[in-house]
């Protein structure tokens, strides 16, 4: 704690503060990285420096792509560290508009139905990146190398992004003309993970014509209880919205 306070104090008095901070953000020692991010939490002004921004984005990408990311959650301070690092990258993305910050956020570790995903879906600066990443060709290469494995990171990434795009249409009411064709195309994706994200996504923002597409898929999953659940749920969600749209208003007063 004393070290953190000392570094925090020197942040504005010692010309070498930035070099020390950049070194610590790039450290191979996790405790050192945690301390560096804590410095940023108490001194957010440091995020206005472009070199610090780049170091923070690089660190976020490093942590997100670490295969042992889940195992790190066992560390007492890791959750606070992870939240603080995420907050720093969000701040950079919003205030600077850096595309690499938005890309890092889109490619991070998150559940597609989380509050973070809903936040990301409503950020205008994120949409171009989400759109670009949704059509990544990296998935095909990864699938060839992992035929017998569960969903790989690229599949999970594209599945998340597919669903977040649906939330962009559903929550923000924007870009539906671009999002709906993507969701419909993803119904035929080679990856069940991505296909399922499209099914769920259409439940959020699909139209009456999409009910027929989902019903056509049922033939291939008639004996799969889980898939039938998702298909039927999305169909009912669409029908519910269509009914609300078509429902007549109250009669006019005479």
Kindly tell me if the per-residue pLDDT of 165 is higher than 90.
Answer: yes
| Predicted local confidence at residue 121, as pLDDT | 96
For tokens 């953000």, what's the residue? 25
**pLDDT tens track for 202-221:** 999 999 999 999 999 999 99
Residue-wise DSSP of 32-71: HHHHHHHHHHH-GGGGGSHHHHHHHHHHHHHHHH-TTHHH
What's the pTM value of the predicted model, to 2 decimals?
A: 0.83
Selection from 191, 189, 113 nearest residue 151 by Cα: 191
Here the tokens at position 49 are: 């420096």
Confidence of residue 75 (pLDDT cuts 50, 70, 90): low
Confidence of residue 140 (pLDDT cuts 50, 70, 90): very low
Query: What is the average per-residue pLDDT within 191-195?
Result: 94
Selection from 95, 175, 78 nearest residue 131 by Cα: 175
Q: Where are the domains of the chain?
A: 1-63+75-109, 114-244
| Predicted local confidence at residue 129, as pLDDT | 95
Long-range contacts made by residues 116-125, C-beta under 8 angstroms, separation at least 24? 116/86, 117/160, 117/163, 117/164, 117/167, 118/167, 118/171, 120/164, 121/164, 121/165, 121/167, 121/168, 121/170, 121/171, 121/172, 122/167, 122/168, 122/171, 122/172, 123/93, 123/94, 125/93, 125/94, 125/97
**pLDDT tens track for 43-73:** 999 999 999 999 999 999 999 888 766 666 6
**pLDDT tens track for 83-116:** 999 999 999 999 999 999 999 999 998 999 999 9
| Predicted local confidence at residue 106, as pLDDT | 96
Positions of E strands within 102-250: none
| Predicted local confidence at residue 78, as pLDDT | 79
Q: 2-40 burial string, b = 16+ CB within 10 Å, else e?
A: eeeeebbeebeeeeebeeebbebbeeeeeeebbbbbbbb
| Predicted local confidence at residue 141, as pLDDT | 40
CA dihedral 186, 191, 196, 202 (to 10 degrees): 0
Distance of CA 129 to the CA centre of its chain: 11
């Amino acid at each position: 704690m004393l070290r953190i306070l000392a570094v925090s104090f020197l942040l504005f008095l010692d010309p070498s503060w930035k070099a020390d901070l950049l070194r610590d953000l790039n450290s191979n020692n996790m405790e050192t990285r945690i301390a560096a991010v804590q410095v940023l939490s108490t001194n957010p002004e440091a995020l206005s420096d472009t070199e610090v921004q780049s170091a923070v984005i690089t660190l976020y990408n490093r942590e997100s792509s670490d295969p042992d990311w889940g195992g790190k959650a066992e560390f007492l301070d890791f959750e606070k560290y992870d939240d603080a690092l995420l907050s720093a990258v969000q701040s950079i993305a919003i205030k600077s508009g850096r595309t690499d910050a938005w890309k890092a956020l889109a490619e991070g570790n998150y559940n597609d139905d989380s509050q973070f995903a809903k936040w990301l879906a409503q950020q205008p600066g994120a949409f171009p990146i989400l759109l670009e990443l949704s059509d990544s060709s990296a998935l095909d290469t990864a699938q060839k190398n992992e035929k017998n494995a569960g969903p790989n990171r690229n599949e999970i990434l594209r599945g998340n992004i597919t669903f977040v795009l649906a939330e962009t249409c559903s929550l923000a009411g924007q870009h539906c003309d671009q999002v709906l064709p993507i969701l419909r195309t993803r119904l035929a994706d080679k990856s069940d993970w991505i296909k399922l994200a499209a099914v769920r996504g259409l439940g959020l923002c699909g139209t009456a014509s999409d009910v027929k597409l989902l019903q056509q898929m049922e033939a291939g999953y008639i004996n799969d209880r889980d898939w039938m659940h998702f298909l039927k749920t999305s169909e009912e969600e669409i029908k519910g919205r269509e009914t609300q749209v078509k429902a007549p208003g109250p009669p006019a007063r005479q």
